[in-house]
Structure 1
Amino acid sequence: MSDVAPIKFYGRSKRNAVVPIDTRRPDWLRVRLPGGSNYSEPKEIMRGLDLHTVCEEARCPNIGECWQARTATFMILGDTCTRACGFCAVKTGRPGTLDLGEPIRVAEAVERMGLHHAVITSVNRDELEDGGSAIFAGTIRQIRKRIPKCNIEVLIPDFMGDESALSTVMRARPDILNHNIETVPSLYPQVRPKGRYPRSLELLQRAKRMDATVYTKSGIMLGLGEEIDEVIQVFRDLRSHDVEILTVGQYLRPTPNHLPIARYVTPDEFAMLKVEALKLGFRHVESGPLVRSCGQPGPGPGRRGLRWTFAGSVGFPTTRPGRCRTASLTSAVLASYPTP
């Protein structure tokens, strides 16, 4: 990746629009337009239950494939993020009121869609003292109550390093704890201006130490200006922090205000990186241009019967610059959604 041009832009900004979006993507990045009855039905379920999916909000290129297969990644805590990372299409601003009924509606959607594997992610809610961790826990418990054999994956923010918030999620016992590293450390100021690389690594290791039976997972995007040795060092860092599952995909620019693409990484390069990652001891690796972090196992025999097939959503930024001066919502929310 030595021919990569350095990025001279920071975060999400109108300044980035000086570089127009390249509409001439390589053949390996072309996907079918979404459509069909299996595509429209999940959309109707989401709208009917007033739910959001990261498939739509983050403009995932795999939405047609996933929705045709009746899979989706639920985005809880509303549709407005308190951060504005340079890669993410989710809108940013001041979020609305916390929806305490959301976990019940997500569980209903999972049941109606007949999912064997549910993926739950969120926007960042920096104004909440617990970062929204109680809603994550409540959602896990409600899904367990309705569909006990459903595998549950959560793609979480880093809760500003708040160990108690992570513990709230882990006590609800998801099957997979996913937190995306997103990019190499040298690009954090551009890609994740409020992110902290060491903090994300620490969160992943803490999760594994809290519950060794939960799989840990992370993902990284390529094509933002990283060097090959930096990418492999990220792989090493993730393994040394007990991460077991890795996804590697191509960054795709959502709008002119987002960071320009430095280059398109070839399928052969993704294949090489998968080999290198497996040598380091990851339990499972998916590496390809259209791989996204919310890889969903195909139908299996239930809890822990995970068969890996990957597609899905773009990851989320993960830091919290401040907290509101309100009492913690954790106890109140968890009391509303007790363990079944």
Structure 2
Amino acid sequence: MNILLTGGAGYIGSHTAVVLSQAGHEVVLLDNFCNSSPSVLERLQKILGKALPCVEADVRNTDAVERVLREYKIDAVIHFAGLKAVGESVANPVLYYANNVQGSISLLQAMQKVGVKTLVFSSSATVYGEPQYLPYDEDHPTKPMNPYGQSKLQTEKILRDLAISDADWKITSLRYFNPVGAHESGLIGEDPNGIPNNLMPYIAKVASGELPHLNIFGDDYETRDGTGERDYIHVMDLAEGHEAAISYLENCCRGFEVINLGTGKSVSVLELISAYEEVIGCKIKKFITKKRPGDLPVYYAQANKAKKLLNWIAIRSVGDICETTQRFSAAKIIA
């Protein structure tokens, strides 16, 4: 298949590009590089042994998206493009609705014009909000606690309505839990600018000396060791989940499906730090600080639906997560 990845040069998009290309698909990237770097394209070429076509454009430019769909004879789209920092979404909600919701509408308008009606949407477990029960399954009530989560849920509602209005659409919304890790080559991984919003790149930056210490936000939660627990999924497992979703849509009946992508297990902040310390062979400087407003003590996925429909499960360990993250971090320092 000819597959367009919006936001394809980003963290999850680039890893998915590798998996899809190695599975025999023709992959085209579209990215405005607001959350990524053009240098990723060179790294992808080293991994794959070939260059992937990449169009620099904003997904909100409907005409530009339409041109790409036509020029490359696209069969299906995986929609990664969007902003993803929870704190930033609280501070600037209009920016998030403009990028994430308006951008999705623009993409759908272009797809409708061309007649491309197969879509995998990059959603998030943040749509669930505070857990009514655990693990979260796809039937859990949705009540996002921030504009980022709201923007993902609003887009899902649009996609559901679209699939109801036109029976030719095939749409899967993948609700991610906590993507972490890097490609085994060390060439691509999560590389945020400045101080990271997510735990894993923060640990890596402290381990490398780029940041002085790690803040742990609270150690008195009702969890195994008092620190927050999350469902950390290796980015390559996540990427393989997208390839499985494309195969599912290629062969399934039409409509709209929501599917969790997670491991089904929780890992605490201290457990993740300890696993990283084992990889690097030394302690990471850390301090306990006060809890952040809105942080949940624990959440993790019920991933049975992905196994049933996609024939997919997460197979990589916490050790794999830490080893590949460190490999990517070390390669950046050498470069």
Q: Aligning the two structures, in what range does the TM-score lie when normalised by the shorter sequence?
A: 0.3 to 0.5
- Structure having the higher strand fraction is 2
When normalised by structure 2's length, the TM-score is 0.37
- Structure having the higher helix fraction is 2
When normalised by structure 1's length, the TM-score is 0.36
